Structure 1
Amino acid sequence: MTLQRPIARAGSRSVKRALGVQAALEWAFRIEQAQLELPLPPDVTEEGFGFGLEYVLLQRAVLGCKIDGGQHKIGGYTHEDAEAIAATVAGIPDSLGGKRMAIRVAELARSGLTPDWMPGAIPRCVPTIVKQNQHGTHAGTIVVGTERVRVRGLGDRAKWKTFDILACPVTFSPHPHQIEAARRGYDDWCQALGWVREGLIAGGMLRDVVLTAAMPKALPWKESR
């Protein structure tokens, strides 16, 4: 995804820019280098920590005033819209993955990546043991039992011989559970982005960014079929 040009700084001639939620997240975390400030654990009091960024942003929205912007980015100013986006990500509810999902959303945005839903993955039956010799590569076998067989003979000459029963152990690669987990993770990420988008719009905290309806493709593996 191509990142948008930098958004005008607070105090300059403001030009609102329309971004989808994924592009807005990448702008906030990659370009502005906003930091994720997660809520404190329930057993830790906020005494001595001051007000959190999310609290300040909410108060700003209520009062209709602006803040000076944080100094998280070394040697520069972090746009207040980027801080609002980061604060909203930090508030992803437990029903959508909570702190773990917030960290995942921020890391993917900072890297400019989309979760790998394993496009085109088809489980294939493959041997777990592969051997090579002068004739090439072939599946290996293991002994899973023995069998006694009576060998033909005349009269008392008939004999019993013991043979090994061989089997080729196989597995599925990629495993269906692996594909299912990857696609479930992508879907969870999409739902988290939808929650972030709705929260930012409902909170009315963005000054220079306008969120569009653009969203990552839902269930893209169904389209690929």
Structure 2
Amino acid sequence: MNRRIFLAASAAWALAGCTVRNPAPPPAVVEPVMLVPKAPEIFPIEAVDLSRIDRRYWRQVVPDPTGERPGTIVVDPDAKFLWLVMEGGRAMRYGVGVGRDGFGWSGTATIARKAEWPTWTPPREMIAREPELARYAGGMAGGPENPLGARALYLYQGGRDTLYRLHGTGEPWSIGKAVSSGCIRLLNVDVIDLYDRVPRGSRVVVRQSAGGAQA
């Protein structure tokens, strides 16, 4: 009788969920991969959580797909990549944001000017589209809120400013997308890296988009 009572009690405890079991191990904590500036800046730059960006747009060294000479920058607006051609058949590849439909640009240009935390002056055409930008007609000082970000590389053709830039952005979500008014944007930490690698006079090739960007 005592054995039957014991077995019945054991079954009741099991049905009640009170059977002793080894607890499941806690889920592994995955630390975010953060991309930070190499050196202090005059304005703070937030670390970028790379887990929020498609891995293919992370800065990385890859086999050179361009065939251009070392030191050349090549931008493919459809792939959303910028390559800096290096020696030995390699290239540093950066993910970029590009101009949305109707605002793209293509052609060959030269970096005639470089600027750290540059002033942004919206073109007249942009002010005509967005009249509220008229307050910046005289220029918006560099800083975290400036659309050009931490660095700008100015593209010239035949000695004339094309009004297109390679520049930084504090909006990591925009990398890999077509969202800008024509310029090529990189993460602030990436544009700083590119800025430090290329001198004035560097050649830049922006490929024509299949969407019909104009040269």
TM category (shorter chain) comes to under 0.3
More helix by share: 1
After TM superposition, the score normalised by the length of structure 2 is: 0.23
Higher relative contact order by CA 8 Å / sep ≥ 6: 1 or 2? 1
After TM superposition, the score normalised by the length of structure 1 is: 0.23
More strand by share: 2
